[in-house]
Amino acid sequence: MYPHERSLVEEMKDKPFALVGVNSDRTVERAKKAVAENNLNWRSFQNKEAGREEEISSDWAVKGWPTVVVLDREFKIHYRGHDGEKATEIAKELVAEMTEKGGE
């Protein structure tokens, strides 16, 4: 999945789009290693950082990895699931709609 995500971030770099990840590694060191080894070019948060009571995955009711959530600029969910291709299609449609309306 990483190659697809990397290319999507590159393709959408000048558009109103952001990809944000949540890393399920238990330690910051392991998470940083995963980011470096996989050349992740998007922001990635640790699932449960030090001092945080709940995991991000609990807050978002994630039942399996990866779970993809596509939000619009008002944070309305347009897709939630495990199909990266479907999520990409919906994200691109939202970006195209915003761009057409002058939302860049």
Task: Report the alpha-carbon distance of residue 69 to residue 50 in Å, rounded.
Answer: 24
* Residuewise pLDDT in 10s, the chain (104 residues): 788 999 999 999 999 999 999 988 878 888 889 889 999 999 988 888 778 889 999 999 998 888 999 999 999 999 999 999 999 999 999 999 988 887 55
pLDDT of residue 51: 82
pLDDT of residue 80: 95
Task: Report the alpha-carbon distance of residue 33 to residue 44 in Å, rounded.
Answer: 12
pLDDT of residue 86: 95
pLDDT of residue 104: 53
Q: Which domains does the chain have, with CATH numbers?
A: 2-100 (3.40.30.10)
